[in-house]
């Protein structure tokens, strides 16, 4: 007897015969027995109302009421309702790559506005129309710097996200590039070590602000030293922080990258997200991905086109700057709408709320016996605390109390098993922060 269907209908037998298979079992021959479906003897269908009621009842069994204090590059920010309402329109979510500008002026203009907004945010002169995520954007920027300088040495600060650093090393595993990582000293970049490593072979210095430990810095001095050695500098940034902090352009950075998830994209269990890359105009021909430009048509009317197309499907492969053949344009559109809805003053207010609430959380957590808030460097909305217990164990217990307590740094930094990275956004209320502190105190006691 077939384990999946107790009585094989004649039409199923005919189908099996047509495709040259004797039994339904044979269709699952490549799947291990323990992974195969137990049965296809399914219950009778339900009406729409009955299905919704059944699924809703099942969902209520999930523990979904978790208050997040976890960051590490991805954050729980407020998203105005207008953002999802506009991006849900059919004109936007059906578009792929706008190869024919005469048919895709709306999409092209939206991406042009996105590029303009990213330049205004970072202070840089040019932007492309997005990449996959913050990590791959940083990799593309690194390769861009190597192409510009013709050198092969990369100096990477230890405060750069360990996730990003792993991406860079994975992508270049079989390439002949020299990586040098510098330590973080009291939460900030080691000027002395970076200067020691700078030489005529250095293509680029990679920095992050705020860094992975939440510390903010002014890299102007490092950038000047790098430029004097003929090297470029990439700064990976947290876009919301730019509502308050000095822009990378003001520091003298050559290329700016980052994760755009905080610009109106929900956490979504890990994606899709948005990588951005901005640069000085003189480097635009070395920039990967799609770039949308503004021009006029034969009638002198304003219009938009894909320009400087340097992907391998457009030019000779060895001349291409990237093998990216498409991107998540809908995410770029969503970020553009978010920035337009929030506006310049709204972004400043949002950034200030992040800073103020994180400072309040520092004060509350510092009162807990055994908890040390690291204050060697200023921070934005994320900071590091030292616990009297293993941070991973504390995180596991805190989850049962309804809190995603933070990012246990021991996962990527050996010797930091008792360090916890805590993030506080504008969505966290005073009551939530107080309850978080109370729960943490109970766990530690």
What pLDDT does residue 270 have? 82
Count the alpha carbons within 13 Å of 116 in the hemisphere toward its beta carbon. Answer: 10
pTM of the full predicted structure?
0.86
Q: What is the pLDDT along the chain (445 residues), one digit of tens a residue?
A: 445 555 677 888 888 989 998 888 888 889 998 888 888 788 888 899 999 999 999 988 886 689 999 999 999 999 999 999 998 888 776 656 677 777 888 888 999 999 999 999 999 999 998 888 999 999 999 999 999 999 999 999 999 999 999 999 999 999 999 999 999 998 899 999 999 999 999 999 999 999 999 999 999 999 999 999 999 999 999 999 999 999 999 999 999 999 999 999 999 888 889 999 999 999 998 988 888 999 999 999 999 998 887 655 566 666 766 656 555 688 999 999 999 999 999 999 999 999 999 999 999 999 999 999 999 999 999 999 999 999 999 999 999 999 999 999 999 999 999 999 999 999 999 999 999 999 999 999 9
Q: For the range 264-268, what are the long-range contacts, defined as Cβ-Cβ under 8 Å and sequence gap of 24 or more? A: 264/77, 264/79, 264/80, 264/83, 264/334, 264/335, 264/337, 264/338, 264/339, 264/341, 265/79, 265/331, 265/334, 265/335, 266/79, 267/74, 267/76
What pLDDT does residue 43 have? 82
Burial (CB < 10 A; 0-12, 13-18, 19+), residue 87, is: buried
Count the alpha carbons within 13 Å of 31 in the hemisphere toward its beta carbon. Answer: 11
User: DSSP letter at 215?
Assistant: B
Strands (E), 297-352: 302-307
Q: What are the two backbone dihedrals, phi and then psi, of residue 202, each rounded to the nearest 5 degrees?
A: -75, 120
Nearest CA to 215 out of 245, 181, 182 is that of 245
Separation CA 228–CA 252 (nearest Å): 12
Q: What are the two backbone dihedrals, phi and then psi, of residue 257, each rounded to the nearest 5 degrees?
A: -130, 175
In sequence order, the β-bridge partners of residue 235 are 207, 256
CA 361 to chain centre: 24
Nearest CA to 158 out of 238, 215, 200, 241 is that of 215
What pLDDT does residue 65 have? 81
Domains present along the chain, CATH in parentheses = 1-42 (no CATH), 67-76+344-444 (3.90.1150.10), 81-339 (3.40.640.10)
Separation CA 132–CA 331 (nearest Å): 9
Q: Give the tokens for residue 64.
A: 């979904």
What pLDDT does residue 1 have? 41
Separation CA 327–CA 291 (nearest Å): 12
Q: Give the tokens for residue 142.
A: 């690194």
Separation CA 344–CA 346 (nearest Å): 5
CA 225, 228, 231, 233 torsion: positive or negative? positive
Q: What are the two backbone dihedrals, phi and then psi, of residue 123, each rounded to the nearest 5 degrees?
A: 85, 0
Where do we find the tokens 């954007």?
137
Task: Report the interhelical angle of 430-444 vs 391-400 (nearest 10°).
Answer: 120
Residues constituting the chain:
445
Strands (E), 300-426: 302-307, 372-373, 382-386, 403-404, 407-408, 419-423
Separation CA 402–CA 397 (nearest Å): 9
β-pairing, 232-237 vs 407-408, is unpaired
β-pairing, 372-373 vs 382-386, is antiparallel
Task: Let me know: does 37 contact 15? Beta carbons within 8 Å.
Answer: no
Helix (H) or strand (E) run with residue 343 in it = helix 329-366
């Amino acid at each position: 007897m077939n384990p999946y269907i107790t009585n094989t209908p004649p039409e199923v037998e005919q189908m099996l015969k047509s495709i040259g298979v004797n039994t339904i079992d044979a269709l699952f021959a490549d799947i291990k027995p323990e992974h195969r479906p137990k049965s296809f003897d399914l219950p009778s269908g339900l009406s729409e109302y009955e299905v919704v009621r059944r699924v809703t009842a099942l969902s209520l069994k999930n523990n979904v009421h978790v208050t997040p204090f976890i960051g590490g590059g991805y954050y729980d920010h407020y998203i105005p309702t207008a953002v999802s309402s506009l991006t849900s329109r059919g004109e936007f979510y059906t578009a792929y790559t706008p190869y024919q500008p005469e048919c895709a002026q709306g999409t092209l203009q939206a991406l042009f506005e996105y590029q303009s907004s990213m330049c205004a945010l970072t202070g840089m002169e040019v932007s492309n129309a997005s990449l996959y995520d913050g990590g791959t954007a940083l990799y593309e920027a690194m390769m861009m710097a190597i192409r510009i300088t013709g050198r092969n040495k990369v100096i990477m600060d230890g405060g750069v996200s360990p996730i990003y650093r792993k991406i860079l090393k994975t992508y270049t595993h079989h390439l002949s590039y020299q990586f040098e990582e510098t330590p973080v000293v009291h939460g900030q970049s080691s000027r002395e070590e970076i200067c020691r490593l700078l030489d005529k072979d250095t293509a680029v210095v990679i920095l992050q602000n705020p860094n992975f430990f939440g510390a903010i810095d002014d890299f102007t001095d490092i950038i000047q030293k790098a430029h004097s050695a003929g090297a470029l500098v990439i700064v990976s940034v947290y876009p919301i922080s730019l509502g308050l902090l000095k822009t990378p352009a003001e520091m003298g950075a050559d290329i700016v990258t980052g994760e755009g998830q905080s610009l109106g994209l929900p956490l979504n269990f890990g994606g899709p997200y948005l990588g951005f890359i901005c640069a000085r105009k003189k480097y635009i021909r070395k920039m990967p991905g799609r770039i949308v430009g503004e021009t006029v048509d034969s009638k002198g009317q304003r219009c938009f086109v894909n320009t400087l197309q340097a992907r391998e499907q457009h030019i000779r492969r060895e001349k291409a700057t990237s093998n990216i053949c498409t991107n998540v344009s809908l995410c770029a559109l969503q970020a553009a709408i978010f920035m337009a809805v929030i506006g310049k003053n709204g972004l400043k207010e949002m950034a200030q709320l992040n800073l103020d609430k994180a400072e309040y959380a520092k004060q509350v957590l510092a009162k807990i016996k055994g908890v040390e808030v690291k204050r060697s460097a200023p921070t934005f909305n994320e900071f590091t605390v030292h616990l009297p217990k293993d941070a991973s164990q504390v995180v596991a217990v805190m989850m049962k109390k309804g809190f995603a307590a933070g990012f246990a740094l021991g996962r990527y930094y050996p010797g930091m098993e008792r360090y916890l990275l805590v993030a506080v956004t504008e969505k966290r209320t005073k009551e939530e922060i107080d309850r978080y502190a109370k729960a943490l105190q109970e766990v530690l006691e």
